[in-house]
Amino acid sequence: MILRLVELGIDGSPDENMHRFSEAAVVSPVPDAAVLPELFTTGYVLDSISSLAISEENIKDLPAASAAGEHSIWIIAGSLPVKTDCGVVNRMVVYSPEGVLAYQTEKVHLFKQMGEDRAFIPGKCGGTFPFMGTTGTGIVCYDLRFPELSRRLALAGAEILFVPAEWPGGRLELFRSLLRARAAEAQIFTVGCNLGGEHLGVMFGGGGGVVHPGGKMIKGRDVIEGVSDFEIDLADVELIRSRINCLQDRRPEEYGTVEQGGRVR
């Protein structure tokens, strides 16, 4: 399959960004699936998030859904600020080739160092979803630092993990290292799509990537500026696990539970 990363910068209004990213997702040659970054319509304008957040009822009718249906591709439409009865969540959404909302999950861990908890409430994990004959799942940006969450999803059957992100360029190598770690420890594909350009004085610059279940970064090819395609074979998950199966070799009875203070019981 051909998997596309759309790593453009934020430029203009939320509606303008939604259209730009959705159009880039389906630039010829049209891929099988396209992935967009975290908060690609708004970025982290935290003081305005509550007014920019969309309603849950509108998610199914966004331009990304139309683009997916018109071009018969999967669009992992990054994440969006979404209003709920409890507050605003940072929600990842996925549209099927029929243009139907196929999956949603929310950012579980908020990055308090930049004040994300002022604008959002912690989200709920959405589990897994059927994806091109296998099982997909998603986490958002900072969630990548918490292997417990990714491990739970891998144990639930996920074989490809999508990670929309706004990871600053100065920590890009860490982002890519964590993508590789999550891929190698669970023997799954990991797909990190990072915001491009500069936003609020911070350089992001794209630079995400796709990691093979064997732990190596896959080389992509440029389509247009900020858009790159990667060829993957989802059957490689089973192939790698037939040689070494890390999940099968787990011994959770020896791991215990770590309490605050470092004591293991």
**Catalytic residue (choose from 7, 106, 116, 141):** 141
Active site residue 112: no
Active site residue 193: no
**Catalytic residue (choose from 106, 107, 116, 193):** 107
The CA distance from 25 to 19, in Å, is: 10
Closest to 163 measured CA to CA, from 37, 59, 39? 37
Active site residue 246: no
- CB-based burial label for 2 (10 Å; 0-12, 13-18, 19+): middle
Catalytically active residues are: 38, 107, 141
